[in-house]
Structure 1
Amino acid sequence: MHRRNFLQNTSAFLAGSALFPSALRAMAPSDRVNVAVIGVNGMGFSDLNGLLNHPETNCVALCDVDENVLNKRAAELAKKNIKVQLYSDYRKLLENKDIDAVVIGTPDHWHCLQMTDACSAGKDVYVEKPIGNSIAECRAMMEAQQRHNRVVQVGQWQRSMQHFNDAIAFVHSGKLGNVRLVKVWAYMGWMKPVEKQNITTPPAGVNYDAWLGPATKRPFDPNRFHFNFRWYWDYAGGLMTDWGVHLIDYALYGMKASNPVSVVASGGKFAYPDDAAETPDTLTAIYQFEGFNMQWEHATGIDGGPYGRTHGIAFIGNNGTLVLDRGGWEVIPEKGKMEAIPYTKASDNGLVKHTRNFLDVIKSRNMADLKCDIKTGANVAINAQMGNIAFRTGEKVYWNAGEGKFTSKDANKYITPEYHNNYKLPK
């Protein structure tokens, strides 16, 4: 299921299953969690709907720099008899002492500042993936969570799905034999060229300077705004960080891996060479770990991925191969070495379970119970950044885990981003 269908189907499911405010009024105020959302255009609002599926959630505020989106979402909540305060500046929202937790659903280049500010303000945080848009941002976010001891759940909701965890348990059982190669891929047939536009004036109601935040000051470009920000280096890392963090996460989880020894990547704009996007539409990255290789590949405009799947993870062992995606998992045996395991379909809603876990840990304060804590989110985001850095430098890059940097000066330039417009990277 690609991202747009996921958003549509999840929103429809949650809208139909969310409890009515009368159920909320029956709960003691001390049992309710007052939630606000920063960035409500896409996944931020889907995350909120996931939270509203649980009776203790009380949405009290929304924030967005696009008042058109903000008013639209407020009207949708009003139809459910949920009245909220509206903010255009997230810092003002964080001053609201009634807010217990915030959802951060803004573009990637804003995640670090908003999450660290939220932790500093004493809020628990559900932050969308990838947690940061650079290695240094991921480090700053981990440090902020530890310093302020806040609950931080990363929106990699597959971590809460039963079939994903059943598949990983099978990998860990050793039945596949020695796993020497893990393939991870995302083939996005629905992605079309990003057509160039000449519009340079932001729409009415959009605070474009606030949208840019720490990113380079540029004239307004509708291609860089809302959904398509993903395909520009100023704000994100293309499919490697958009889908890669979901899928590479499970490759690392299955192999109990953290830092690679080296990464090499090759690709480019082969499908749509003249469109407006910057990030590669075709990319292959090979990560060398101790004892195995991990191969990432993505392609836009194509659905015919490995094993007949648009996306997935394949653990290739001496005895057989386990293939896993959002729809289910199966084991394809090597001849005469093990029994096949037929395709087992997914049976639950990851977003509903992930938000349930977040609320439970807010109340228990037992950080070990989080399905996707800040360290897990940082580990995969950093690995995705390494793949992009290898591509952007054109080098095979080597990682010095002891020093926390590459052996290449050119690669190390990408570890820490340059912040602009008077914003400072959190220390």
Structure 2
Amino acid sequence: MQKRCQPQGRETAGRRRLPFSLPWVCMRPAMSKPFSRRKLLKAAALTAVAARPVGVPHVLANASPNAKVQVAVIGAANQGGISVNEVARLGERFVAFADVDERQFAKTAKILAEYPEIKFDSIPQFFDYRQMFDKLHKQIDVVFVCTPDHHHATASMIAMRLGKGVYCEKPLAHSIHECRVMAQAAKKYNVTTQLGNQGHSREGIRRLCEYLWAGAIGNVTEVHAWAPTGRGGTGGRLPTRPVPKGLHWDEWIGPAQYRDYHDELHPALWRSWWEFGDGSLGDWGCHNLDGAFWALDLAQPVSAEAIEQVGGSQERFPLVNVVRWDFPARGNLPPLKLYWYDGYRAAKTANPKKELGESLELSQNRPPIVLELEKKYNRKFGDGGTIYIGDKGIMFSGNYCDSPRIVPEEKHRQFPVPERKLPRLKGTHQADFLRAFKEGTKACSDFEYGARLTEMVLVGCLAERAGLHQKITWDAAAMKVTSHPELNALVQRQYRKGWELEA
């Protein structure tokens, strides 16, 4: 284990209470003196923008596409474990792992035990990814960022400024400003990027786009999406608890505002808290809203509103949400209303599967139109998916936009199979990213696309934060909430000393 850096500690100077029950935000100005990492990043950035095929670093610029990619993983277990397994299966080379919890490395080792050629103990392990970049940046080609949401931008920006390819889990970022900065950086530093919305690589979303573009249900004016997720809670911050052995708490907090360790944060329930996650919508929105965003050319809404909420507080997301976005006409496409449903109505905690057991399905917050269609056509639409309502019919796609079908089924069989207009991908989402990196091409859900998709999702999170029936208006060009200016403190975050976003 690498030597621990000195903790930044609690920062209280310069804080003020914002209106509208927003969380504490540090208004302290950025550091006046640069630290060594900035010098490293500045020098590396000059190298990173040198002419070369998009995404291909100097170490591979003249290599065969069959050369092994040198991979670092930040967040080495849980969701990161899926990417670890995929990278190992594809035969690439791990050069570093970073995780704030030393206990998580045992999970990574267990995954890699299936690949005897990989000697996990010989691969450097860090609990601070900044130290990893300081010491090993010359050995790294690409980075998988599989951390809680509040770390996504900071870790990805360091990597991109060093000229590294980045695969970042969804949502792309924790604020809209971060989305835009990350998309700009990917273009500026000419690196391969991929948002971890795995369904974007699959056949289902391509078939969905092609059916909708072929006019299978006419002009779409409403979309209703739901997902098997229930985060959030009630009440305030929980009592301070001792930091578990092996967890480096200051590094877990990272760029967020400091708080003492308490329950229901690490390793699984951090999405429920405004300071660290983006709720159920941030968890699944980039999956089940992806098809509507792509096929219907949604861009950004003009307004959004939370039309139902259960629970929630100034610390936590609501347990149950219904959100509506309003989109203007787009070329020949009519105005559209997009709806999102999440949570479980009987749940009192952010762990509904454990709490509700066999009654989970009956408690799920699903669109009323889904219940009507299930009853009318005697079929089940499952625990997640999307309904598309057009002036000539209805379509459905499942979780990750898989298995799109016109409803009812006989109409799907009657409609001519549309021409394939989108290229098909072989293999997994991670494989697409690594292929794009080797070939110097774009991955299918790069940061330019992923930033716009995530921004739409985060506008919905702002509506949740505004509260029930508080319709917010969004000026995308100015990157501002014009109806509730106090929410703009969440559009562009402030960062703790030593974790500033290096744009």
TM-score normalised by length of structure 1 = 0.83
Which residue of structure 2 aligns with residue 90 of structure 1? 129
Which residue of structure 2 aligns with residue 282 of structure 1? 320
Letter of the structure 2 residue corresponding to residue 53 of structure 1: R
> Which structure's CA Rg is the greater one?
2
Gaps of 5+ in 2: 1-62, 329-334, 345-351, 353-359, 371-380, 418-424
Letter of the structure 2 residue corresponding to residue 92 of structure 1: Q
Q: CA separation of 1:204/1:288 partners in 2, compared to 1, >3 Å: closer, same or farther?
A: same
1:360 and 2:435 correspond: yes
User: Is the contact made by 2:232 and 2:319 (CA closer than 8 Å) also made in structure 1?
Assistant: no
> 2:477, 2:172 → 1: CA distance?
23
Which residue of structure 1 aligns with residue 101 of structure 2? 66
Q: Percent identity?
A: 29
1:262 and 2:338 correspond: no
Q: Within 5 A, what are the aligned runs for 1:281-320?
A: 281-290=319-328, 291-300=335-344, 301=352, 302-303=360-361, 304=364, 305-306=366-367, 307=370, 308-320=381-393
> 1:354, 1:338 → 2: CA distance?
30
Letter of the structure 2 residue corresponding to residue 322 of structure 1: M
> 2:315, 2:264 → 1: CA distance?
8
Deviations 1:95-123 (A, max 9, x none): 41222111110100000000000111221
Which residue of structure 1 aligns with residue 193 of structure 2? 152
Which residue of structure 1 aligns with residue 16 of structure 2? none
> 1:177, 1:357 → 2: CA distance?
32
Which residue of structure 2 aligns with residue 419 of structure 1? 495
1:182 shift after superposition: 0.9
1:391 shift after superposition: 2.1
Which residue of structure 2 aligns with residue 11 of structure 1? none
> 1:134, 1:197 → 2: CA distance?
24
> 1:29, 1:334 → 2: CA distance?
44
1:116 and 2:157 correspond: yes
> 1:41, 1:91 → 2: CA distance?
19
1:124 shift after superposition: 0.9
> 2:444, 2:203 → 1: CA distance?
12
Q: CA separation of 1:351/1:406 partners in 2, compared to 1, >3 Å: closer, same or farther?
A: farther
Which residue of structure 1 aligns with residue 395 of structure 2? 322
User: Is the contact made by 1:126 and 1:153 (CA closer than 8 Å) also made in structure 2?
Assistant: yes
> 2:104, 2:306 → 1: CA distance?
38
| Stretches (4+) displaced over 6 A | 27-30, 191-197, 334-338
Letter of the structure 2 residue corresponding to residue 32 of structure 1: K
1:139 shift after superposition: 1.3
Q: Within 5 A, what are the aligned runs for 1:229-240?
A: 229-240=270-281
Letter of the structure 2 residue corresponding to residue 80 of structure 1: Y
Q: CA separation of 1:265/1:319 partners in 2, compared to 1, >3 Å: closer, same or farther?
A: same
Deviations 1:199-218 (A, max 9, x none): 61111111100000111211
User: Is the contact made by 1:319 and 1:333 (CA closer than 8 Å) also made in structure 2?
Assistant: no
- Matched residue of 1:296: which SS? strand
Q: CA separation of 1:179/1:79 partners in 2, compared to 1, >3 Å: closer, same or farther?
A: closer
Deviates more, 1:388-397 or 1:283-292: 388-397
Q: CA separation of 1:150/1:309 partners in 2, compared to 1, >3 Å: closer, same or farther?
A: same
1:417 shift after superposition: 1.2
User: Is the contact made by 1:51 and 1:352 (CA closer than 8 Å) also made in structure 2?
Assistant: no
1:79 shift after superposition: 5.2
Q: CA separation of 1:221/1:336 partners in 2, compared to 1, >3 Å: closer, same or farther?
A: closer
Q: Within 5 A, what are the aligned runs for 1:4-403?
A: 31-55=67-91, 57-78=92-113, 80-81=115-116, 82-83=118-119, 84-94=123-133, 95-96=135-136, 97-188=138-229, 200-270=241-311, 278-290=316-328, 291-300=335-344, 301=352, 302-303=360-361, 304=364, 305-306=366-367, 307=370, 308-326=381-399, 328-333=403-408, 339=414, 352-367=427-442, 370-394=443-467, 395-403=470-478
Deviations 1:339-383 (A, max 9, x none): 4799xxxxxxx995211211111111122xx11010221112111
Deviations 1:50-83 (A, max 9, x none): 222223x112221111111124423542552312
User: Is the contact made by 1:65 and 1:210 (CA closer than 8 Å) also made in structure 2?
Assistant: yes
Letter of the structure 2 residue corresponding to residue 107 of structure 1: P
Q: Quote the RMSD (CA, aligned, Å).
A: 3.0
User: Is the contact made by 1:282 and 1:298 (CA closer than 8 Å) also made in structure 2?
Assistant: yes
Q: CA separation of 1:177/1:65 partners in 2, compared to 1, >3 Å: closer, same or farther?
A: same
> 2:234, 2:99 → 1: CA distance?
24
1:29 shift after superposition: 10
User: Is the contact made by 2:233 and 2:272 (CA closer than 8 Å) also made in structure 1?
Assistant: no
1:269 shift after superposition: 3.2
1:248 shift after superposition: 1.6
User: Is the contact made by 1:397 and 1:411 (CA closer than 8 Å) also made in structure 2?
Assistant: no
User: Is the contact made by 1:318 and 1:334 (CA closer than 8 Å) also made in structure 2?
Assistant: no
> 2:172, 2:450 → 1: CA distance?
6
Larger strand percent:
1
Letter of the structure 1 residue corresponding to residue 450 of structure 2: G
> 1:361, 1:398 → 2: CA distance?
37
- Matched residue of 1:46: which SS? helix
Q: CA separation of 1:192/1:419 partners in 2, compared to 1, >3 Å: closer, same or farther?
A: closer
Q: CA separation of 1:230/1:206 partners in 2, compared to 1, >3 Å: closer, same or farther?
A: same
1:411 shift after superposition: 3.0
Which structure has more relative contact order (CA 8 Å, sep 6+)? It is: 2
Deviations 1:3-44 (A, max 9, x none): xxxxxxxxxxxxxxxxxxxxxxxx989711111111112111
Deviations 1:173-210 (A, max 9, x none): 11211111011112447x79799975611111111000
User: Is the contact made by 1:268 and 1:283 (CA closer than 8 Å) also made in structure 2?
Assistant: yes
> 2:163, 2:411 → 1: CA distance?
58
Q: CA separation of 1:366/1:248 partners in 2, compared to 1, >3 Å: closer, same or farther?
A: same
Letter of the structure 2 residue corresponding to residue 67 of structure 1: E
Gaps of 5+ in 1: 1-26, 343-349
Deviates more, 1:145-154 or 1:191-200: 191-200
TM-score normalised by length of structure 2 = 0.71
Letter of the structure 2 residue corresponding to residue 229 of structure 1: W
Letter of the structure 2 residue corresponding to residue 91 of structure 1: R
> 2:298, 2:190 → 1: CA distance?
25
Q: CA separation of 1:197/1:352 partners in 2, compared to 1, >3 Å: closer, same or farther?
A: farther
Q: CA separation of 1:260/1:62 partners in 2, compared to 1, >3 Å: closer, same or farther?
A: same
Which residue of structure 2 aligns with residue 410 of structure 1? 486
